[in-house]
Amino acid sequence: MVLVLGAIAAVASADHIVVSISLVYLHTLPLAVSAIFLRREISYSLIAVCILLHDYCSPRYIKPGLRILHNLSAMLCFAFVVWVGSKRRTIKSAYGKQCLLTIVQQRQRSSCSEAIKRRGG
C-alpha cells in the first residue's frame, strides 16, 4: 500500500513539474499494481485519489468542459486497468484453488490404491 501511494505521489509531483503535457496516464502503473495486490475497493478508491491529485497538481489551465472530459476519460481508463488487474487476480486465485483440489484428489486416489494393495486386492 505504501509503495502504491508513493508511486501515485511521485506521478503527481512529476505532473506538477512538467507543464507541456499531461502525465495522468502514468497513474496506470500504480493502479495496476494496486489491482493485483490490494483489495478491489481500495483500488477503485485510488482512482478518485489519482484524479483529484491530477486536478490539484496540474499547473496547466484547461477550460472546464475540456477538463471534465479529460478527467472522465482518465477515470474510465483507470477503471478498466483496475478491472483487468482484479480479474487477473481472481482467475489466478481460482486456478490455484483448482490445482490444490486436483492435488488433494490425486493423493486420495493414491492412498486408496495403496490401501487396496495392502489388503491383497
The pLDDT tens digits of the residues spanning 83-97 come to 998 888 777 677 677
**Residue predicted with more confidence, 44 or 57:** 44
pLDDT of residue 46: 92
pLDDT of residue 72: 92
Q: What is the Cα–Cα distance from 111 to 37, expressed in whole angstroms? A: 37
Look at the block and give the residue holding cell 475540456.
66
DSSP class of residue 38?
A: S
**Residue predicted with more confidence, 98 or 6:** 6
pTM: 0.68
Q: What is the Cα–Cα distance from 120 to 49, expressed in whole angstroms? A: 68
Q: In this structure, are residues 12 and 53 in contact, taking their beta carbons and an 8 Å threshold?
A: yes
What is the percent of the chain with per-residue pLDDT over 90, rounded to a whole number?
18
User: In 10 A of CB 73, how many CB atoms?
Assistant: 11
**Residue predicted with more confidence, 117 or 30:** 30
